[in-house]
Amino acid sequence: MRRAFRALMAAMLGAIFLAMTVPVPASAEPLYPWPDPDPFYLAPADLAAIQPGDVVRTRRIDTWMYANSDGWQIAFRSTNSAGNPILAVTTVLLPRGVANPPLVSYQAIVNSLGTKCAPSRALFNLEMQESPGMYLGLQRGWAVSVPDHLGPTGAYGAAKLGGMITLDSIRAVQRVSELGLTNSPVALAGYSGGGMASAWAAALAPTYAPELKLAAVVQGGIPADLEQMAEGLGFNPHPGFGLAFAAAVGLEREYPERLPVSSQLNETGLWLREWMSNECRRFLLFHGAFRNAGQLAASTSLMASSTARQVLRENSLRYFEGVPTAPVYMWHGTLDGLTPFDSVAEVARRYCSAGANLTFVPYEISEHMTTAVVGFPDAYEFIAARFRGEPAPTRC
């Protein structure tokens, strides 16, 4: 897992910096995923006329995988990293027999490029590994909302985008009166990529959605500094290379003018990009195994673009000045080889210095996902206490 993540960051940065530092051959436009054929996901022509979080359409869904629950999906207006309107979707699971339950927005780990891999699909097609975890909230009598936080283009790697979609999904859920969640207390939860979306939502909330009153945010294993993770990484073939290449493709989708990755791929790279552009985690890993950036790029000039570094910093929590006003529970492995601890610790220190209500819990654990398993029980108890109205502790 650790080597796979290093390969991911190395290849992603290799493709990005390559695109910004060598002459451009015959142009290749960014390749976006196939649109979902379901018209529920189709953006209306007048999307720009409504506000972020406004509901476009809703529908009831069959929640056969999640016993004793009722399901809804909500399409709503959100915003991408360039400030343009986009249509986003969230899936809501309601516990049966519970009136006006509290709401947890759960940001899932989505290591994918295809629309079929988004949580609104993956919750029901066995693609999302975290699907059983939805029961943790439902069994407590909480409603659970799971947004498609990579957006309609599958912009894997775009952290700020995930924060905005998450906040707009909460706005939308509260505006659907049939759900009975208009006045419910709200919490955010997520780990790794989902923790990154949750952390960005918490930090953006005071300025992007100041009307939202978040009762709690629990966020773990956060990739807080993409630039730091990229520096010093090698470019050797690795079984996890497929996710690396997917991250480069995903970031190009969100920043097509600033990160023209596709224009720097050779024929093999363009073929692999097309082969992977609509697929999910397992496919990406299998077909990208033991490849490397040198096989796919027209040049190996790397790590020289200030524009690329700026984009990475724009998506790194370490460099975002916003501070959450909601109570935050943040946990991280001190020996985590996937997501460096020091960048997360620096974020924690800055939050504490600014007076944030933060509980920061380090674990002396090196394996990334083990820290998730160890940390989530206390994180969920943190949410439960806030839902009960207990004051949040500060543990800096």
Query: What's the pLDDT at 86?
Result: 98
Question: Per the structure, how many domains does the chain have?
Answer: 1
Query: What's the pLDDT at 93?
Result: 97
**Is it the case that residue 293 has pLDDT exceeding 80?**
no
Helical spans, DSSP H, in the chain: 2-21, 119-122, 134-139, 159-175, 193-208, 226-230, 241-254, 267-276, 281-288, 293-296, 306-314, 341-353, 368-387
Query: Which of 152-166, 192-206, 231-245, 343-357 is the least confident region?
Result: 231-245
Query: What's the pLDDT at 361?
Result: 97
Segment 241-257 mean pLDDT: 88
Q: What is the pLDDT of residues 329-357, one digit of tens each?
A: 999 999 997 789 999 999 999 999 999 99
d(CA 375, CA 218): 10
Query: What's the pLDDT at 243?
Result: 79
Query: What's the pLDDT at 231?
Result: 66
Segment 75-94 mean pLDDT: 98
Query: What's the pLDDT at 23?
Result: 39
CA separation, residue 109 to residues 189, 193, 220, 242 (Å): 11, 5, 12, 16
Q: Are 207 and 201 in contact (CB under 8 A)?
A: no
Segment 26-39 mean pLDDT: 84
Segment 90-114 mean pLDDT: 96
CA nearest neighbour of 372 among 221, 172, 266: 221
Query: What's the pLDDT at 234?
Result: 52
Q: What is the CATH number of the domain that holds 36?
A: 3.40.50.1820
Domain enclosing residue 384, as ranges: 1-396
**Percent of residues in the chain assigned helix, strand, coil, to nearest 5:** 40, 15, 40
Higher pLDDT, 156 or 130: 156
- How far does CA 166 lie from the centroid of its chain? 9
Segment 153-176 mean pLDDT: 97
d(CA 364, CA 357): 23
Query: What's the pLDDT at 304?
Result: 59
Task: Please name the residues in contact with 111: beta carbons below 8 A apart, sequence gap of 6 or more.
Answer: 156, 193, 243, 246, 281, 284
Share of the chain above pLDDT 70, in %: 89
Task: Please name the residues in contact with 347: beta carbons below 8 A apart, sequence gap of 6 or more.
Answer: 222, 224, 317, 318, 330
**This model's pTM is above 0.85:** yes
Q: What is the pLDDT of residues 35-59, one digit of tens each?
A: 999 999 999 999 999 999 999 999 9
**Is it the case that residue 211 has pLDDT exceeding 60?**
yes
Share of the chain above pLDDT 90, in %: 69
How does DSSP assign 159-175, residue by residue? HHHHHHHHHHHHHHHHH
Query: Which of 16-25, 29-38, 65-74, 167-176 is the least confident region?
Result: 16-25
d(CA 374, CA 21): 43
Token code pair at residue 118: 């988004």
Q: What is the pLDDT of residues 252-285, one digit of tens each?
A: 999 998 888 888 889 999 999 999 999 998 888 8
Q: Rounded mean pLDDT of the chain? A: 89
Confidence label for 235 from pLDDT (cuts 50, 70 and 90) = low
Query: What's the pLDDT at 346?
Result: 97
